[in-house]
Amino acid sequence: MMIPLDNTPILVAGACKTFRDVDNYQRTLVDGLDEVSRLAFDDSGRASLLRQSIDAIATIRFAMGLEPGLREQLAPEAPGAALARRWGIEHCRYYTSTDSGNVSQYLINHFADSLTRGEHRAVLIGSCELIATVNHARKNGTDLSHWKEATADEPVETIGPDNYGCSEMESLHGFYPPANGFALMESAVRHQSGRSIADHQRYLGELFSRFNAVAVRNPNAWFRTPRTAVEIATATEQNRYVSFPYTKYMCAVMGVNMAAAVIMTTVGNAKRLGIPENKWVYLTGCADVDDTLYLSERPLLHDSVALWTAVDDALRMANRNITDVAHYDIYACFPAVVEISCKTLGIDPLQRQLTVTGGLPYYGGPGSAFSLHSAVQMTSMLRQHPGASGMLIAHGWYMAKESVGIYSTTPSRAEWQRTPLANLRQRAGVSRCPINTGKVEGNGVIEACTVQFDKSGPCRGIMIGRQGNGTRFVAATHEECSFRRMMSEDMIGRHVIVSHSNGINTFTFKD
């Protein structure tokens, strides 16, 4: 067995907590962080000693921050400082993340580097989301101002790129909410696969029924109701379309109450604290790679050069082949993400188990912290299967940010060696398509499309296309006859006529 150096980073503890009492208004965000963190300390087997060794606390930015003003009303500016005060910890540094689905794995990768360089002894990464309680309180008019726990004037460092995932033009044409953007990608994935619309819908139901089955067995999952493939794929009054072809049962759900925490340290510090080796899980390989930020400017809508690069480098670092990986947790907010990830990995998504959690539509999507829950549950899985390897794939925005981690109870090499982020981006060869951000008029060809729904039915058609000179554009339609065609025919490659009015490009079918 490889003998790791004392500065090798490891995960030594983790915990998840699901709060189902949505009407418990007294539990604050810091209370939830405190509760799950104490469970994590206990998981280490050396709770008191490990707690006093913590010199960095990083918290995932609360998802309610995505709604202007709400985070400022309810969340403390320095939740890590509030935790340290409760635990009697001094001389600690505090961090927060940006908003993105990949930040949990990104933070784990980041602090693995920091620990290796001796910048910290032990780091706690934590998250708490009480979105279900916030929603419940709003319906009842309940005041939650007591959640705004006072904290000392402590500096908080932000980690991660803070880029909004939609351009102004994309937002104007309906790329947000996320179901719309991912459904656009889904149309390109389906066309590239050669499946008919009906066959692909059945395929999506089968794909996500496998995630649902894991959630049903997971006591931490928010939704544990069994769903058949047919039930997931078929639009009904209870399972309406959100953005074609996605039904509600295929979409991430953020309205949950969930908390998670992991604790990282080094081999040397774990030895000094007496943390049993059967608690140690190594991050044997990792990578973070950004793709072109805006979906409409990305050359490939059915693939990801950033993910290819991140997976390849993480495997290289871990001295592993993809066939060595026994367990996965692929970030599964919408089906397109899973399909593109499996294409990258070269595995059949209907033949391999792709999750240890159950995915965001069933386990729940606690803001930007889903992959922190994945890390906790992957750690538990690997402790039960010593020597096996597990891979986490975390995506940010429309697969614009990729973070990968490979975990095992056995080290892959004596020395921690990671490829610099700038080198990976250069290796990926990330590029962008020219896009017409002005008035678009004339002929075009559809490259991706979807139909957005509201509670009353289809309300907007959205497309990404190219003009004759190769320039990309985005456009929308409100014609009901177009909705029907877009849901029954393969529209990729079809010709459209585009016009412009009041800042919006609109399209009609040429044939």
Q: What is the pLDDT of residues 238-263, one digit of tens each?
A: 999 999 999 999 999 999 999 999 99
CATH for the stretch 9-165+253-428: 3.40.47.10
Q: Rounded to whole angstroms, how far apart are CA atoms 331 and 141?
A: 34
- In this prediction, residue 422 carries a pLDDT of 81
Residue 71 has pLDDT above 80, yes or no: no
- Do 33 and 83 form a contact (C-beta atoms < 8 A)? yes
Terminal CA-CA length for the chain: 66
- In this prediction, residue 149 carries a pLDDT of 75
C-beta neighbour count of 368 within 10 angstroms? 28
Band of pLDDT at residue 164, cut at 50, 70 and 90:
confident
Q: Rounded to whole angstroms, how far apart are CA atoms 390 and 315?
A: 11
Question: What is residue 60's DSSP assignment?
Answer: P
Collapsing DSSP to helix, strand or coil, 41 comes out as: helix
- The percentage of the chain sitting over the pLDDT mark of 90, rounded to a whole number, equals 88
Q: Rounded to whole angstroms, how far apart are CA atoms 281 and 44?
A: 11
- Is the model more confident about 64 or about 61? 61
- The percentage of the chain sitting over the pLDDT mark of 70, rounded to a whole number, equals 98
Q: Rounded to whole angstroms, how far apart are CA atoms 216 and 235?
A: 21
Band of pLDDT at residue 308, cut at 50, 70 and 90:
very high
Q: What is the mean pLDDT of residues 432-458?
A: 95
Could you tell me where in the chain the CATH 3.40.47.10 domains are found? 9-165+253-428
SS3 sequence of 239-284? CCEEECCEEHHHCCCCCCEEEEEEEEEEHHHHHHHCCCHHHCEEEE
Q: What is the mean pLDDT of residues 365-381?
A: 97
Q: Rounded to whole angstroms, how far apart are CA atoms 176 and 374?
A: 25
Residue 184 has pLDDT above 60, yes or no: yes
- In this prediction, residue 66 carries a pLDDT of 56
Which range among 276-285, 353-362, 413-422 shows the weakest confidence by mean pLDDT?
A: 413-422
Q: Please, where are the H alpha helices in 45-69? A: 47-53
Band of pLDDT at residue 152, cut at 50, 70 and 90:
low
Look up residue 13 and give its two tokens: 């503890």
Q: Rounded to whole angstroms, how far apart are CA atoms 130 and 505?
A: 39
Band of pLDDT at residue 354, cut at 50, 70 and 90:
very high
pTM of the model: 0.96
Q: What is the mean pLDDT of residues 280-305?
A: 96
Q: Rounded to whole angstroms, how far apart are CA atoms 296 and 463?
A: 9
Q: Which residues pair with 389 in a beta bridge?
A: 325, 408
- Provide the residue count of the chain: 511
> Residue 332 CA to chain centroid, in angstroms?
7
- Do 448 and 355 form a contact (C-beta atoms < 8 A)? no
Helices 197-217 and 335-345: crossing angle in degrees, nearest 10, is 90
For the stretch 453-507, pLDDT in tens is 999 999 999 999 999 999 999 999 999 999 999 999 999 999 999 999 999 999 9
Question: What is residue 148's DSSP assignment?
Answer: S
Band of pLDDT at residue 426, cut at 50, 70 and 90:
confident
For the stretch 201-229, pLDDT in tens is 999 999 999 999 999 999 999 999 999 99
The pair phi, psi for residue 241, each rounded to 5°, is -65, 140
Sign of CA dihedral 82, 83, 89, 91: negative
Helices 79-87 and 29-44: crossing angle in degrees, nearest 10, is 60
Nearest CA-CA partner of 437 in 167, 164, 177: 167
Which range among 59-68, 113-122, 192-201, 306-315 shows the weakest confidence by mean pLDDT?
A: 59-68
Mean pLDDT of the chain: 95
- Do 222 and 303 form a contact (C-beta atoms < 8 A)? no
What b/e readout covers 286-308, taking b as 16+ CB neighbours within 10 angstroms? bbbbbbbbbbbbbeebbbbbbbb
Between the alpha carbon of residue 389 and those of residues 2, 7, 282, 356, the distances in Å are 15, 21, 10, 13
Look up residue 122 and give its two tokens: 């032990």
Residue 359 has pLDDT above 90, yes or no: yes
> What is 442-509's CATH number, 2.30.30.90, 2.40.50.840, 3.40.1400.10, 3.20.20.370?
2.40.50.840
Q: Which residues pair with 406 in a beta bridge?
A: 285, 391
- Do 58 and 111 form a contact (C-beta atoms < 8 A)? yes
Q: What is the mean pLDDT of residues 17-34?
A: 96
Q: Rounded to whole angstroms, how far apart are CA atoms 343 and 308?
A: 9
Could you tell me where in the chain the CATH 2.40.50.840 domains are found? 442-509
Band of pLDDT at residue 151, cut at 50, 70 and 90:
low
Q: For tokens 């490659």, what's the residue? A: 493
Q: Rounded to whole angstroms, how far apart are CA atoms 309 and 345?
A: 11
Collapsing DSSP to helix, strand or coil, 389 comes out as: strand
- Do 245 and 98 form a contact (C-beta atoms < 8 A)? no
